[in-house]
Structure 1
Amino acid sequence: MPIWEMLSHAQHAALRVSRAHDGERQFAQIVADEFIQAAPYYAILFTKHPETGAFYAGVVMGLEPGRNLMAVKGALPDYRPADLERQGFYITDGQLVVDREHGVFAEPDGQLLFDMNGEAALPLKRIQQALHVLQSGIPETDALIERFLAHRLLEPIDVTMSFDDGEHLTLEGLYTISLDALHALPDAAVLDLFRRGDLQLAYAQAGSIRHLRTLGRIRNNRLADIG
């Protein structure tokens, strides 16, 4: 069971947070405001919540559960999604709480959350910013996806890869923007998407799926290194 504690300097002055846990994350949720930052590094795709069936957006960082192919020595070297930045921290009733059992607190080389004066250190400031991004961004992203769905722009994407060791991997339940459907929209609908900023995000998402090939190449190269 998680151990939830309201974050405070008095109780958590010695608490350290590590990025090494990133290496275990295959997928991370992102919000619309992160699309442009994430697209140069990761494949952005849509999937459904297993419980509600509602769509949400995320970045694919690995091809197998528990394995992040983009991590270097366990941590991401490039853009770090807010969902990873805030690991182990949540907002409950307007208060910042910490799950002491989360893996981000298990590494001895983690960074302190508070400085010598008891003020928020840089890691904690990044966490606070990430929580703000998610808190405000999730409703906005839900609305964006609803607009995409209203125009029937989301379609399933087949992700099946074969590797030098003979193994085949398939990622299921993923969706992308259909550029064919987008280009077939009436001018008025396209203009509305443009003015909302949705058109830029749609192209950023569609273009980002090229990074799936990068993941396949990384996995193959590591097989060769092992061999």
Structure 2
Amino acid sequence: MKFPPMYRSLVALDRVQHRNLRVRSDVGGLKQAAELNSVFLNVIEFADSCREYPIVFVRAGEGKDGKPAPLMPLAVLGLKQGENLFLKADGQWDAEYAPAYVRRYPFAMAGVDGGDQVAVCMDEQWEGFSTTEGEALFDDKGEPTEFTKSALQFLDNYEAETQRTRALCEMLDEADILEGMRFEAQLPNGEKIEVEGFLAVNEEKFAKLDDKVVLDWHRRGVLQVIEMHRMSMGNMRRLAAKRIGK
């Protein structure tokens, strides 16, 4: 079974099976992101993320009815496969804002039993789980603690924003304003870096959008999202500079 990036396993959170489980605050969960060179980003995160990361679009999954695979936005974390320039050796995040995808770990909403049913799941292989130390997931009556309720609310909000992000990506796809891009840089040591396989806004196509579409996108906040994406692309060179400093 293939698990999402970061996760080594996914099991449904169960009030009986996991009644005595606790979460240690002294064990950083972000070490699992050490080899992530990009991570899914919800639209609501663009405002914070555009100051830190390049925000690009890629096609993920499989298309249906002859259509291309759906678009999804990513925050770029590294310029090479398996490289995360924002994770310190101690597992702490080296930026003012960490994407929600990373912060939700070790929990996630995921399908169970191979069907369409979705449940709150966790990576049971995470080292931060304990039966003796940390925040309890359930109380003596088997009810979720405030800690668990907070985590569940975070997941609910995350899933709602994911649906909103998919809808916006469909709008961009239908407008056909994205195109394949590549980034090239040469480091002081002579090493050349090439990043490709991502999509970004084509300025010419964007400028030719119908006025009615522009007005509609303005009212829906889509133009603001596009502008944050465009601004973020300057962070590619910041990544190259960050790589030199590693």
TM-score with structure 2 length normalisation? 0.76
Q: 1:19–1:112: structure 2 CA closer, same or farther, 3 Å change rule?
A: farther
Query: How far off is 1:59 after superposition?
Result: 0.1
Distance 1:94 1:119 in 2: 21
For 1:74, give the aligned amino acid.
G
* Match status 1:119 vs 2:145: yes
Q: Does the CA-based 8 Å contact 2:12-2:119 persist in structure 1?
A: no
The 3-state SS of whatever aligns with 2:19 is helix
Query: How far off is 1:128 after superposition?
Result: 3.1
Distance 1:183 1:211 in 2: 23
Q: Does the CA-based 8 Å contact 1:20-1:74 persist in structure 2?
A: yes
Distance 2:123 2:30 in 1: 15
Q: Does the CA-based 8 Å contact 1:88-1:98 persist in structure 2?
A: yes
Paired residues for 1:178-217 under 5 Å = 178-217=202-241
Gaps of 5+ in 2: 2-8, 64-68, 112-116
Higher helix proportion, which one?
1
Q: 1:214–1:13: structure 2 CA closer, same or farther, 3 Å change rule?
A: same
Q: Give the aligned partner of residue 175 of structure 2.
A: 151
* Match status 1:74 vs 2:74: no
Q: Give the aligned partner of residue 225 of structure 1.
A: none
**Which of 145, 150, 164 is the aligned partner of 2:188?**
164
* Match status 1:106 vs 2:127: yes
Query: How far off is 1:129 after superposition?
Result: 4.2
Q: Does the CA-based 8 Å contact 2:11-2:121 persist in structure 1?
A: yes
Query: How far off is 1:135 after superposition?
Result: 1.1
Q: Give the aligned partner of residue 53 of structure 2.
A: 42
Say which is worse superposed, 80-89 or 193-202, in terms of deviation: 80-89
* Match status 1:10 vs 2:31: no
Per-residue CA distance 1:30-60 (angstroms, 9 max, x = gap): 1111111211111110011154532111100
Query: How far off is 1:132 after superposition?
Result: 2.1
Name the count of aligned residue pairs: 216
The 3-state SS of whatever aligns with 2:52 is coil
Paired residues for 1:26-65 under 5 Å = 26-49=37-60, 51-52=62-63, 53-65=69-81
* Match status 1:22 vs 2:33: yes
Distance 1:4 1:174 in 2: 32
Identity level (%): 23
Q: Give the aligned partner of residue 6 of structure 2.
A: none
Distance 1:107 1:22 in 2: 15
For 2:145, give the aligned amino acid.
E
Gaps of 5+ in 1: 223-227
Q: 1:125–1:6: structure 2 CA closer, same or farther, 3 Å change rule?
A: closer
Q: Cα RMSD (Å) of the superposition? A: 2.8
TM-score with structure 1 length normalisation? 0.81
Distance 2:56 2:45 in 1: 13
Say which is worse superposed, 141-150 or 127-136, in terms of deviation: 127-136
Per-residue CA distance 1:61-105 (angstroms, 9 max, x = gap): 11122221122343223212111112232224453221212xxx2
Q: Does the CA-based 8 Å contact 1:48-1:173 persist in structure 2?
A: no
Say which is worse superposed, 2-11 or 152-161, in terms of deviation: 2-11
Distance 1:114 1:159 in 2: 46
